Chains A and B, each alone.
Chain A
Amino acid sequence: MKRRDYLTVTVGGLIVYTLDRMPGMAQGRLIRVPLRFFTEPEALIIAAAAARIFPSDESGPGANEAGVIIYIDRQLAGPYGRGRYRYAEAPFEEGPPELGYQGKAPPREIYREGLALLGADFRTLTPQQQDERLRGMERSVFFDLLRTHTIEGMFCDPMHGGNADLIGWQLIGFPGPRMGYFDEVDTHHGRAFRPKPASLEQVMGRKVRPSEDEP
């Protein structure tokens, strides 16, 4: 049994419930979470790469504040990361791009290869150097996955580890799950309607079991 690593990161913070161009940031929270798949140094490298894809900048918070790395760590540790949701019988052969990814490696192995591509020194590089390294791997299966997972971690329900404090949903004015909009569907034509976001657990009033906790 490997020693479990912990990750200490600052996530969350509150902005306003609009699509304002200049959202105001409040103070984030320092949290210490057990890692399920990565070691701490690995997690910090992936987090740094995700933060170049979805940076924290003048247009608002990014992958760091949303806790994207926590999302990715849990996904890779769970059935998705193990390749539970794909057909994995041999033979593995190359095919045309329209047939999709035909490789043997499940997502967690693709991340292992990705970590090697990023390099152990990734965090010591300047942002410009980091971008350059990422541009060099833009066509890799890993980069595609990392980009997809970064967006997912920004905007998932917070029960999956990302979108801390609903920061991603606040950023785009997405209210999350709601019982409906019968009265609003045809009364806000051409005007922004931005109800306060709520997570599934907040709406349901109880815990919901996410797929990453399934065997």
Chain B
Amino acid sequence: MRRLPPVDAVIVGGGWAGLLMAKELATRAPLEVLILERGGPRKTSDYRDNMDELDYAIRLRMMQDIARETVTLRHSEKYPALPVRQYGSFLPGAGVGGAGEHWSGISYRYYPDVFELLTRTVERYGAKRLPDDHAIRDWGVTYAELEPYYDKAERLMGVSGKAGNLRGQRIEGGNVFEGPRSAEYPTPPMKMPYLAALFRDACASLGYHPFPMPAATTSQAYTNPDGVSRAGCSYCGYCERYGCMIGAKAQPTNTLMPVLARRKNFTLRTGASVRRITVDGGRARGVTYVDATGEECFQPAEIVFLASWTLNNTRLLLLSELGRGNAGRNLTHQVSMPAATVFFDKPLNRFIGSGAAGVATGDFDADAFDHSNLPFLRGGAINTVCYGFRPMANFGVVPRSAKARWGSEWKKAALDWYDRTGRITFTGEHLAYRGNFMDLDPRYRDAHGDPLLRLTLDWRDNERRMAEFMTAKAVEISRAMGAREITPFAGLGHYDATRYQSTHLQGGAIMGATPEGTVVNPYQQHWDVPNLFVLGASSFPQNASGNPTLTVLALTWRTADAVVGRYLKRPQSLA
């Protein structure tokens, strides 16, 4: 094994969390920072010719190489786990920028009560309403503590939107249910495609509170506090699963890399697959990785940061036997579903769009509505996003009145409805349960010979009933939109690894105010190994309806502040 010269900080994974931490450490401390990224290099100009649905959206050119590594899945401990052999319900990224390159840019803040989920739920409804098998926890950090970092993250990316609560003042037209914001969004809301406008008007007519979705697909040219400038969105409709060809969508490569590329104390090593973290005498000593040529290397470092996405963070902790017996707990996904497929009389021009050009309503999110007489807890955002509708994956959807799924009759109906079909989607909270967890698979291995991560995951009644309730709401909104025909969501059933839901997986190395049941403290610092930090949604004790990236950035920034401000002076526990 080749032993490399030591660095101050090694960061595993060059996505949003890893590169943000690198920027803070390299520019403010300044430390010598090394990122190890398993994928290849990337830059904005790579994306000029990626507007090809087949190679990017279907063959998934930007994702991790599933032939080399995947996960196994089972619905409960009663069954053997089988590998997810082809991508379906989520899409892990690889390469510089990670999934932050091919995300949609939807940038919700979490509601304040999300961070105190156990306390607030018991307070309002009593402990008897908690599901039997639940593992719901408070985060150990509050919305008020995170608010300044949410603001910084929005400024970093130039998020477009409209405030609904500015320093406690309620503002119509924004999300009136959101927690208090210290400042307005850095850029105004995106333009409104037709379907989103129909949805907005329908929600308003029903007395709901629609608001423009907060979007990192920035609405106009923007220069961030680091002096990095980006163009405004052109609504080409190639966001999710693609990199942005004009750099309007905030991506690590067009926000963080321009700052880091100028720093001599920053190195990014691609093609480096980290396999173990080495700990000795209660301190992390470095990481072992396999480089692009297949050679095994040991990289010593004073501080180790894991920032390699929820599942890989968890897997590395398990492989390195650093899980404190708690790694893998609180695995959650997101209740993400097409609540209603809606058929209209008028054409929608759905090829026009942007990953976060949409409208959401918060009336049925979090605890904004009373659950006393409902058969479930919590909720989510009912929304419609005009992300740009492309035909290879989307052609062929017909109303229930058309029975055939191939042949002349189907073809005629599918052509007829093609540009008159819209979707109302729902992204809802997935509670944590003891029975949903990750560990190492006893049978299947990756290309290096290491065990795959095994997911034990299924929906419970809380999610199924929530989905049913939200489907009815989406049908109500569809009618108000003037739908000719509506296909409601068929129901959640068992967790379906074949249907894309979202790449929002949480848990595995969760944070909490106490070491019991958790891996990291509220600064994402390992309880037993103070120079090991675990960044990303692996820290989230449970899913919170909204998409996680903005919260990942806010938590990372808060950790970076604590590392630069306190840890470097006294390298010990920050909690």
B493: chain A residues within 8 A (beta carbon) = 98
Closest to B493 in A: A98
B80 at the interface (CB under 8 A from A): yes
- Of B23-31, B36-44, B56-64, B147-155, which stretch is located at the interface? B56-64
A160: chain B residues within 8 A (beta carbon) = 54
Interface residues of A in 44-58 (CB under 8 A from B): 52-55, 57
Does A171 contact B415, Cβ atoms closer than 8 Å?
A: yes
B58: chain A residues within 8 A (beta carbon) = 152
Binary CB contact string for chain B from 71 to 87 against chain A (1 if under 8 A, 0 otherwise)? 00101000110111110
- Of B168-176, B360-368, B405-413, which stretch is located at the interface? B405-413
Binary CB contact string for chain A from 160 to 193 against chain B (1 if under 8 A, 0 otherwise)? 1000000011011111011111101110111111
B280 at the interface (CB under 8 A from A): no
B376: chain A residues within 8 A (beta carbon) = none
- Knowing A52-B407, A53-B406, A189-B197 touch, does A100 contact B84 (C-beta < 8 A)? yes
Task: Give the docked Cα–Cα distance between A88 and B446 (Å).
Answer: 11
- Of A3-11, A30-38, A79-87, A117-125, which stretch is located at the interface? A79-87
A169: chain B residues within 8 A (beta carbon) = 391
In this complex, how many residues of chain B approach chain A with their Cβ under 8 Å: the count is 68
Does B52 contact A89, Cβ atoms closer than 8 Å?
A: no
Task: Give the docked Cα–Cα distance between A127 and B236 (Å).
Answer: 41
B346: chain A residues within 8 A (beta carbon) = 190-191
Does A185 contact B235, Cβ atoms closer than 8 Å?
A: yes
A210 at the interface (CB under 8 A from B): yes
Task: Give the docked Cα–Cα distance between A102 and B238 (Å).
Answer: 31
In this complex, how many residues of chain A approach chain B with their Cβ under 8 Å: the count is 66
Task: Give the docked Cα–Cα distance between A211 and B61 (Å).
Answer: 8
**Mostly helix, strand, loop or mixed at chain A's interface?**
loop
- Knowing A98-B496, A154-B395, A156-B54 touch, does A147 contact B59 (C-beta < 8 A)? no
B353: chain A residues within 8 A (beta carbon) = 185
Binary CB contact string for chain A from 190 to 208 against chain B (1 if under 8 A, 0 otherwise)? 1111000000100110001
Does A100 contact B498, Cβ atoms closer than 8 Å?
A: yes
Of B52, B61, B82, the residue contacting A93 (CB under 8 A) is B82
Does A211 contact B411, Cβ atoms closer than 8 Å?
A: no
Task: Give the docked Cα–Cα distance between A59 and B410 (Å).
Answer: 11
Interface residues of A in 100-148 (CB under 8 A from B): 100-102, 131, 134, 147
B51 at the interface (CB under 8 A from A): yes
Does B67 contact A88, Cβ atoms closer than 8 Å?
A: yes
Tell me the minimal C-beta distance from B217 to chain A in angstroms.
12
- Knowing A59-B412, A86-B67, A87-B70 touch, does A203 contact B80 (C-beta < 8 A)? no
- Of B136-144, B186-194, B430-438, which stretch is located at the interface? B186-194
Does B236 contact A55, Cβ atoms closer than 8 Å?
A: no
Task: Give the docked Cα–Cα distance between A55 and B191 (Å).
Answer: 39
B124 at the interface (CB under 8 A from A): no
Task: Give the docked Cα–Cα distance between A167 and B254 (Å).
Answer: 37
Of B51, B86, B495, the residue contacting A98 (CB under 8 A) is B495
Does B392 contact A152, Cβ atoms closer than 8 Å?
A: yes
A172: chain B residues within 8 A (beta carbon) = 391, 395, 415, 418-419
Of B61, B351, B444, B497, the residue contacting A175 (CB under 8 A) is B351
Does B84 contact A87, Cβ atoms closer than 8 Å?
A: yes
B55 at the interface (CB under 8 A from A): yes
Residue of A172, A181, A184, A208 with most chain B CB atoms under a 10 A cut-off: A181
13 contacts between A and B (CB under 8 A): A57-B411, A59-B415, A80-B59, A87-B67, A88-B85, A96-B79, A98-B497, A100-B86, A151-B392, A155-B391, A185-B191, A185-B353, A186-B194
